[in-house]
Structures are given as structure tokens and as C-alpha cells.
Amino acid sequence: MLMRLLPAVLLVLPLSAVAAPSTPSATPSEPNVRTVTETYQDWLVVCAERDGNKQCEARQQLVNNKTKQVVMQLTLAKPDKAKPVFQIALPHMLDLTKQVGIAVDGQKARTYPYRFCNKAACFVQVEGNDPLFAVLGKGTDGIIRVTAMGPGEQKEQEIKFSLKGYAAAAGRL
């Protein structure tokens, strides 16, 4: 997958940074947790089951080809089985006063505010019945538009992502 990278210093997310609040958490030290991973083209579905409670999410991580570090993670989950949540984990050093644009297959970008930041990343969340969900399910390619902040400048950047397999992965949730 080709993507236009933000300057490497701006786009490095520690792998632990991209854990969404709804992310299934299963570690090898938890023997009663069963984790299943399935691949749907460019999307991964991860399900964790513990004591009969199963939580799943679909995700795609974009990795800097040179540094092999995660630069952005897209996650789709249904924490309450009724309303989906689409979350984007982005690096720090972005202009939080500018909204994040999400465009699919060349359509006009929909914009969303940052929801929160923690010590590792900043997050955008789209919830419920937002029209974005229907567009994502029918699309093949997407672009995330952010405004990077560098020394004395702001520059709009585009990060390309794939929607190949998204509809199948979303259906698995």
C-alpha cells in the first residue's frame, strides 16, 4: 500500500498508542482469554473472548516503510453491539484546532474534530448513524487529511488508506 507520509518525526506512534478504549485486550499472561485474528484483505479483525464475553474490532495499521513504525491506526468496533464507532489514532504535533478530513474514493471530505489525546496519540471518533459508515462500506480507497505543525509552519498532509476488505471485516463484527 502506498501512502504519503508526514515527516517521520511527526508520524511515529508507539504500538501501544493505538489501543482504542474499546480494543479487546488479551495478553499471554491471561490464560482464560482466547484471541482469534482474521484477515479480510487490508483489514484485520481481532476478537478476544473471556468468560463467555466476546469483543471484536476491525483495524488497519499504516506503517512507515522505512522505520517500520505505526503511523496511524483505523479501528471499527461495536462496543454496545448497536452503534458502531470508527476511530482514528493519529500522532502528536498536529494542529488540533483544525478538523480531520476523511475522503473516500475522491468524494468531498467529511470533517471531524479530535475527540481526545493521551500521552501516545490523538484520536478522532465517529459514532452512531453518521453517513460516513455507508460510504466506508462501499469504498475502495480513503484519505485522511490532517494539518501538521512544524517549526514555524503548518502544512496539510494526506495519508492514504485502503478500504479493501473493510465491508467484510465490518460484517464480521
Taking the CA atoms of the chain, what radius of gyration do you get in angstroms? 16
Query: Per-residue pLDDT tens for 106-127?
Result: 999 999 999 999 998 999 999 9
**Other CB atoms within 10 A of residue 172 CB:** 15
Grid cell in block for residue 143: 484519505
The residue behind cell 489501543 is: 19
Mean pLDDT of 75-88: 89
Spatial contact of 121 and 18, defined as CB atoms under 8 Å apart = yes
The residue behind cell 471530505 is: 109
Report domain 15-20+57-172's class.
mainly beta
The domain locations on the chain are 15-20+57-172
Spatial contact of 37 and 48, defined as CB atoms under 8 Å apart = no
Q: Regarding predicted confidence, which is higher, 6 or 57? A: 57
Is the overall model pTM greater than 0.85, yes or no?
Answer: no
How confident is the prediction for the chain on average, in pLDDT?
83
pLDDT (0 to 100) of residue 88:
98
Amino acid at 29: S
Query: Per-residue pLDDT tens for 15-54?
Result: 333 443 344 444 455 668 899 999 999 999 999 998 888 8
Grid cell in block for residue 71: 503511523
